[in-house]
Amino acid sequence: MRYVSTRDAALSATLSEALKRGIAPDGGLYVPERFPHLGVALFEGATRLPEVATRFLAPFFEGDGLDAEMPAIVREAFDFPVPLVPLPTPEDASVLELFHGPTAAFKDFGARFLAACLGRLHRGAGRTLTILVATSGDTGGAVAAAFHGRPGIEVVVLYPRGLVSPRQELQLTCWGGNVKSLSVAGTFDDCQRLVKAAFADPALAARRELSSANSINVGRLLPQACYYVKSSLATFRRTGRPANYIVPSGNLGNVLACVWARRIGLPVGEIVLAFNANRTVPDYLATGDWQPRASVATLASAMDVGNPSNMERLRHLFPEWDDLRGALSAVSVSDEQIRARIRTDHARLGQTWCPHTATAAEVYAGLGERRRAAGPWVLVSTAHPAKFPETVEPLIGAPLPVPPALERLLSLPKHVTEIPATLEALAGAVLA
């Protein structure tokens, strides 16, 4: 299997090359040159995530230097549960809980997988590998945790100052050592722009070997597809019907992984994207007019993206707007709807949502009885509510228990450097 640029299929790379580069030489994003068909029968007897992932990932690692190590990579990365929890509703609905990893967010899947891959690829190398990662909340903490202490690798995390939750910021800045945390005077889109500019800067590339751990790196998307494979199989085995998903969406990496799982033949039905007040994608699907814009700050801060990078991959997969609109639907949810949904479902269902998961729950509630009854539906829960106590606790009127792994991180000292949103400032911080 080779990986090609979304902008020029003649620019191809092995999986290892794509993982290390992060982005293609022409600025495009790497995608598999083809999608193999993997039917349900291939996964017979596989129920645990490492077993499912090993079978799913085999064709994507085929012929690569990491092929023989892939099962060990999977076992190392996926060492925490990913439960599919039924909801107490009249319709068939479940919650896919993706927050049981070390930083209590779904980004742990991709970050730990990528770290396991790059750690092996860089083993014995004489030059330090610098991982650049822009984050709107959860990605940076997961990447920092996954790479912290790995020899020969440093991580530079960029996050928008004042636009992440206090607990998210603590997770982004508690590391030190081989992790540099940069508080950027700007938005997430500014952080993402700086990372892309750094890759395009020949002077910086000459002095540092750069890679990315954002969802622009294909090494983030392949492992995220694994939990869609597992949960869709479990749902199909239970009901005999494909699973329909509602996915909280920002930079579109998570939903793209779901689309890939469906593309290879897994039992995935409807895919509905739940957005906050950042309406770039819902408006595009409604009008056909692609208009990236400045991001808007919301309660669901990790989804505050006005120009999502992975739209390039989606448009590569579905070049015609009508085809894309037929493959996906999208709904935007306001902050007030997020608050109301957290209150309502805590009282009615006994469920406590983070603001991001609440967008999916609100979209589900708005489907209408007939569409909900046409399930099964899976709501994707992307973060533990304890990461957002200042939002959630006043709404439910109770304190939130903090997972032990998260509690340990919150007790560590803070290490952070403030920079303006300029390439010069980023380069200075990277080279310091």
Task: Please give the positions annotated as active site.
Answer: 107
Contact 252, 314 (CB under 8 A): yes
Non-local (6+) Cβ contacts of 416 within 8 A are 172, 173, 181, 182, 183
Contacts of 345 by beta carbon, 8 Å cutoff, 6+ apart? 351, 353, 358, 361
Q: What is the dihedral of CA 385, 390, 393, 397, to 10 degrees?
A: -170
The three-point CA angle 111-390-403 to 5° equals 45
* Structure-token pair, residue 161: 């100052």
Q: Which is it for strands 3-5 and 30-32: parallel, antiparallel or unpaired?
A: antiparallel
- Per DSSP bridges, beta strands 12-13 and 84-86 are unpaired
**Radius of gyration of the chain measured on its C-alpha atoms:** 20
* DSSP string for residues in 213-261: -STTSHHHHHHHHHHHHHHHHHHHHHHSSPEEEEEE-SSSHHHHHHHHH
Q: Where does 100-226 show beta strands of DSSP type E?
A: 129-134, 153-160, 179-185, 209-212
CA 180 to each of CA 132, 395, 415: distance values in angstroms, whole numbers, following the listed order: 10, 35, 8
The strand pairing partners of 383, in sequence order, are 105
Task: Report the distance separating Cα 57 and Cα 295, nearest Å.
Answer: 34
As given in the structure block, the two tokens for residue 55 are: 């079978």
Report phi then psi at 272, rounded to 5.
-115, 130
Report the alpha-carbon distance of residue 309 to residue 193 in Å, rounded: 10
Query: Do residues 161 and 193 touch, judged by C-beta distance below 8 A?
Result: no
Give the side-chain half-sphere CA count within 13 A for 130.
21
* Residue 30, strand partner residues: 5
184 and 421 Cβ atoms separated by less than 8 Å: yes
